[in-house]
Homo-oligomer: A and B are copies of this chain.
């Protein structure tokens, strides 16, 4: 996937946010914090949070740039919903980060490098996209189910909770 058309409709603000994500991807990688990935969560002109990969630096397998930025933006707004916000990422989000963006209710995602670039850099993004697109029984990570009924009953308790907060 490449740019189509070149860049005209992203706008000066969007280009600035995306370039900031790319700058972060290089700076923090060179500083030894993790892989070469950066992200920004913005609401219009306003940057709510910046993120960069910190997997190796903080021993956190979930500390991808996008996750860090989404968590930071939600903490700043004190709201688990980032509706009205845009996620800018220096590289196409992996399935973890893509699904996190859905959960965070961002309006859209703008990314720069592709999963193929990440794969050339030695990262599993393209492989994970393929895995997630497969039916569960055909995936390489073994997954099995047990105790269904005991756990399903908890959802009845959830629906019966009068003060539950949906998300």
Q: Which residues does A use to contact B, with CB under 8 Å?
A: 1-3, 7, 10, 14-15, 18-19, 22, 25-26, 29-30, 32, 34-36, 55-56, 59-62, 64, 67, 70-71, 74-75, 77-82, 90-92, 94-114, 117-118, 120-122, 124, 128, 131-133, 136, 141-148, 150-152, 154-155, 157-159, 161, 163-167
Q: A127 → chain B, closest Cβ, in Å?
A: 8
> Which of B107, B108, B154 makes the CB contact (< 8 A) with A36?
B154
Q: Is the CB of A132 within 8 A of B95?
A: yes
Q: Decide: B146 and A113 in contact? CB cutoff 8 A.
A: no
Residues of B within 8 A of A155 (CB): 36, 113, 117-118, 120-121
Cα of A6 to Cα of B101 in the assembled complex, Å? 36
Docked pose: A159 CA to B30 CA in angstroms: 11
CB distance from A21 to the nearest CB of B (A): 8
Complex CA–CA separation, A2 to B145 (angstroms): 7
Cα of A165 to Cα of B33 in the assembled complex, Å:
9
